[in-house]
């Protein structure tokens, strides 16, 4: 039996085709079922439908609850939805239900619809209206023809996916399933990539595919499990964890040439400015808006846990400062003045909250009290764990970053004299920057408390190195490197991706290699507490499965190939030695330049540039830019040329 499944974004339908060469054909039946509450259903020989009520509330798995999944008949308390299905086949229709015998070829077309009306908005419509829309979509697809639907789907996907092409080595001579490639690779003493370097390119492409599939304009952002969650009560509610995970999901959007896929994240930020403003007033009697470590499509903005959970993870009011960094990154990659005007209000309002949140400390500096460092603790003098202190490093870095961003965007919009902008500019020099602690590492809190868990998965105190872009002195770079050494290479999937990005920023290709070996480690060996391994499908694990590591890898590996955060386009800063031959085309550098690179091994066993091509794809890219490779720099002028190619010899003078 042959089965082919695809989902068409342009038509909003799923299509399943089933075929067989068996002379007698197949006996097939089609049924609809759901974990949700079914409010109506019917089957005929040609079609089927089902209307549904979605839960009014689902408790997180870490909260004890007698009824974790609850429904409500109150108007507007629950979303409603529907699924409609039609099929065609060449067999004999059955006598009941949606069934047939002697089928050699069948096509099933289905569509779903809910009363979801947009981020931070109440549901609109009814299950009956949702069913009517789903049926219309199915009918339209069948009327157009499945070949045409498939063609539109492929064109829609290719318009995004084909922007970037990557090769990380010669293809294997034997065509094997991914799980077998991983097994064979891990049998090599030097790791999976030494035997099969193309796994890196495959994982890179898989991450791009996942973001394309789960984040489109008008929809919701990619969450912890993306659209692949299959549980009513999923891990961490399949929500948006804002102390790293949802941000990591969107790290690749700009650099991997998928910038428009970040629009659902921007919509979520807009929603949080509304709900978060109410939360700031109610909880903190503060202006502006605030969000904490977890949110959802309704822009939930208050702390989780009802005050009963450990504040190390249940209290963290810094989400807004990290989220608006994505608005700034969109501008850094060439977004126009219209987007700057859209971005300024949430950035300004977020800064307004933190101007209220900051307190003057005895030394005259500004800090945060109380303060947590996401999900980490320190050792108190009496030996107990402490999770709340003054001025975590991440707090200070995020707020300073926010105030600097506000000034830059306000200047672009001609609003430098705004009162909040002036206050932020005045406060910025009083916020201490990161600096090495007594052990030479970056401390999690400014007071440099003793560490409790050296190998903790979070790297919050290193935010300034990545995804931030704080200029680093040699002393600060050494402290970041020592901090990563202290954390070790063992980590959950998303933490490994963050570590790769940080090692890339430090230009440490062999450290990158060590981490990538962990990413592709043997999936059949238990990594133990705090570790992760790939699934046979290349889905990454936390454990459990979380999509963030897959998406984070795309951004992290791009940092190995090219960086542009420091005002210069740096080529091949941290390519691991296992990937000594390769190419990439279509990745994007600030402020809107497509970059293509080819590289190969050199005589000393390192990696050397063959050539790199640059073309401006957004207005700010049409200018002069510095390009660096192997410690040397040259200038290119894209204001006069559509594209410029540099070769290794161009960097020898």
Query: What is the mean predicted confidence (pLDDT) over 192-206?
Result: 94
Q: Structure tokens of 62?
A: 């870490």
- Evaluate whether 560 touches 575 at the Cβ level (below 8 Å): yes
Please give the structure tokens belonging to residue 234.
Answer: 């999923």
Residue 306 has pLDDT above 80, yes or no: no
What is the pTM assigned to this prediction? 0.96
φ and ψ at residue 272, rounded to 5 degrees: -70, -25
Closest CA to 53 of 75, 74, 36, 34: 36
pLDDT at 579 (0 to 100)? 95
Query: Which residues face 636 on adjacent strands?
Result: 625
pLDDT tens by residue, 18-33: 999 999 999 999 999 9
Label residue 22 left, alpha or beta by phi (over 0 means left) and psi (-120 to 50 means alpha): beta
327 — pLDDT class (breaks 50, 70, 90): very high
Per DSSP, the residues of 447-475 read T-PPBS-TT-S--GGGTTTTTS-----HH
CA-based torsion, 245, 248, 253, 259: positive or negative: positive
**Contact, 514 vs 489, CB < 8 A?**
yes
- In total, the chain counts a number of residues equal to 653
Instruction: Identify the band that residue 606 occupies on the pLDDT scale cut at 50, 70 and 90.
Output: confident
Label residue 525 by pLDDT band (50, 70, 90). Answer: low
CA 272 to chain centre: 18
> Helices 319-332 and 337-357, interaxial angle, to 10°?
150
The pLDDT of residue 418 is 97
For residue 530, the model assigns a pLDDT of: 59
Element (H, E) at 367: strand 366-367
From CA 355, how far away is CA 431, in angstroms rounded? 11
What number of other Cβ atoms are within 10 A of residue 187's Cβ? 10
Residue 391 clears pLDDT 90, i.e. is over it = yes
pLDDT > 70? residue 206: yes
Q: What is the pLDDT of residue 64?
A: 80
DSSP 65-89: -SSSEE---STTTS-EEEEEEEEEE
Tell me the mean pLDDT in the region 606-632: 96
Distance of alpha carbon 215 from alpha carbon 261, whole angstroms: 6
Residue 536 has what pLDDT? 78
pLDDT for position 526: 65
Summarize the confidence of residues 42-71 as an average pLDDT.
91
Burial state string for 299-336 with b = 16 or more CB within 10 A and e = fewer than 16: bbbbbbbeeeeebbbbbbbbbbbbbbbbbbbbbbbbbe
Question: For position 283, what pLDDT does the model report?
Answer: 96
Range ranked top by mean pLDDT from 170-174, 311-315, 363-367: 363-367
Contact 98, 45 (CB under 8 A): yes
Report which of 8, 230, 26, 38 is spatially closest to residue 110, judged by C-alpha positions.
Answer: 8
pLDDT at residue number 63 = 80
Q: Mean pLDDT throughout 494-518?
A: 96
Distances from the Cα of 284 to the Cαs of 281, 308, 388, 442, in angstroms?
A: 6, 19, 17, 30
Mean pLDDT of 592-619: 95
d(CA 312, CA 377): 7
Q: Which domains does the chain have, with CATH numbers?
A: 2-161 (2.70.98.50), 239-462 (1.50.10.10)
pLDDT at res. 533: 65
Question: What is the Cα–Cα distance from 587 to 597, expressed in whole angstroms?
Answer: 9
Residue 605: per-residue pLDDT: 79
Beta strands in 95-237, from DSSP E residues, in sequence order: 98-103, 105-114, 165-167
Mean pLDDT in the chain?
A: 94
CA 263 to each of CA 3, 218, 450: distance values in angstroms, whole numbers, following the listed order = 34, 8, 41
Does position 603 have pLDDT exceeding 90, yes or no? no
pLDDT tens readout for residues 140-170: 999 999 999 999 999 999 999 999 999 999 8
Which H or E run contains 208? helix 198-214
How much is the average pLDDT of 623-630? 97
Is the pLDDT score of 173 beyond 70? no
Structure tokens of 41? 């259903």
Are 390 and 369 in contact, with CB atoms under 8 Å apart? yes
Please check the confidence at residue 540 and state whether its pLDDT lies above 90: no
Model confidence over 392-451: pLDDT tens digits?
999 999 999 999 999 999 999 999 999 999 999 999 999 999 999 999 999 999 999 999
Per-residue pLDDT tens for 631-650?
Answer: 999 999 999 999 999 999 99
The residues pairing with 4 across neighbouring beta strands, listed in sequence order, are 17
Q: How many helices (H) and strands (E) does the chain have?
A: 17, 26
DSSP letter assigned to residue 440? S
Contact 626, 633 (CB under 8 A): yes
State pLDDT tens for residues 556-579: 999 999 999 999 999 999 999 999
């Amino acid at each position: 039996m042959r089965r082919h499944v695809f989902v068409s974004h342009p038509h909003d339908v799923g299509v399943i085709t089933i075929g067989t060469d068996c002379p007698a054909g197949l006996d097939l039946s089609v049924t609809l079922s759901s974990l949700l509450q079914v409010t109506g259903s019917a089957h005929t020989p040609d079609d089927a439908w089902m209307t549904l009520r979605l839960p009014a509330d689902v408790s997180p798995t870490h909260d004890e609850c007698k009824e974790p999944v609850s429904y409500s008949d109150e108007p507007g308390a629950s979303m409603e939805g529907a699924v409609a299905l039609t099929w065609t086949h060449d067999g004999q229709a059955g006598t009941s239900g949606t069934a047939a015998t002697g089928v050699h070829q069948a096509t099933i077309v289905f569509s779903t619809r809910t009363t979801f009306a947009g981020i931070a908005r109440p549901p609109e419509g009814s299950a009956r209206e949702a069913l009517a829309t789903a049926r219309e979509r199915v009918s339209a697809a069948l009327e157009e023809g499945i070949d045409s639907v498939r063609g539109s789907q492929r064109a829609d996907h290719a318009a995004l996916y084909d922007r970037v092409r990557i090769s990380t080595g010669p293809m294997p001579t034997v065509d094997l399933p991914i799980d077998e490639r991983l097994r064979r690779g891990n049998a090599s003493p030097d790791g999976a990539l030494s035997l099969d370097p193309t796994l890196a390119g495959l994982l890179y492409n898989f991450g791009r595919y996942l973001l394309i599939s789960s984040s489109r304009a008008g929809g919701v952002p990619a969450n912890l499990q993306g659209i692949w969650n299959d549980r009513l009560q999923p891990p961490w509610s399949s929500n948006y964890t804002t102390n790293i995970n949802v941000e990591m999901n969107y790290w690749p959007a700009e650099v991997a040439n998928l910038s428009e896929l970040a629009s659902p994240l921007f919509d979520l930020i807009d929603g949080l400015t509304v709900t978060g403003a109410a939360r700031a007033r109610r909880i903190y009697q503060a202006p502006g808006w605030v969000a904490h470590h977890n949110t959802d499509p309704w822009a939930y903005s208050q702390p989780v846990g009802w005050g009963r959970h450990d504040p190390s993870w249940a209290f963290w009011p810094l989400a807004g400062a990290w989220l608006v960094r994505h608005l700034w990154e969109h501008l850094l990659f060439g977004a126009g003045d219209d987007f700057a005007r859209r971005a300024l209000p949430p950035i300004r309002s977020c800064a307004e909250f933190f101007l209220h949140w900051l307190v003057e400390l005895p030394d005259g500096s500004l800090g945060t009290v109380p303060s947590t460092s996401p999900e980490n603790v320190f050792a108190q003098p009496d030996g107990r764990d402490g999770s709340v202190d003054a001025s975590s490093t991440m707090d200070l870095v995020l707020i300073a970053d926010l105030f600097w961003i506000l000034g830059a965007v306000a200047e672009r919009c001609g609003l430098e004299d705004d009162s909040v902008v002036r206050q932020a500019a005045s406060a910025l020099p009083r916020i201490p920057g990161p600096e090495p602690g007594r052990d030479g590492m970056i401390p999690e809190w400014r007071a440099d408390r003793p560490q409790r868990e050296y190998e903790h998965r979070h790297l919050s105190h290193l935010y300034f190195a990545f995804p931030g872009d704080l200029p680093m002195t040699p002393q600060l770079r050494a402290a970041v490197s020592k901090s990563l050494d202290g954390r070790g290479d063992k980590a959950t999937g998303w933490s490994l991706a963050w570590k790769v990005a940080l090692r890339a920023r430090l230009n440490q290709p062999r450290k990158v290699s060590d981490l990538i070996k962990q990413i592709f480690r043997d999936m059949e060996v238990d990594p133990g507490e705090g570790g992760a391994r790939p699934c046979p499908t290349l889905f990454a694990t936390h454990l459990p499965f979380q999509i963030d590591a897959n998406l984070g890898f795309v951004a992290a590996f791009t940092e190995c190939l090219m960086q542009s955060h420091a005002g210069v386009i740096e080529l091949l800063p941290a390519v691991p030695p296992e990937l000594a031959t390769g190419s990439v085309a279509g990745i994007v550098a600030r402020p809107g330049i497509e970059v293509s690179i080819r590289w190969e091994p050199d005589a000393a066993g390192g990696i050397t540039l063959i050539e790199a091509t640059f073309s401006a794809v957004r207005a700010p890219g049409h200018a002069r830019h510095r390009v660096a490779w192997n410690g040397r720099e040259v200038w290119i002028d894209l204001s006069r040329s559509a594209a410029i190619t540099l070769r290794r010899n161009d960097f020898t003078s």
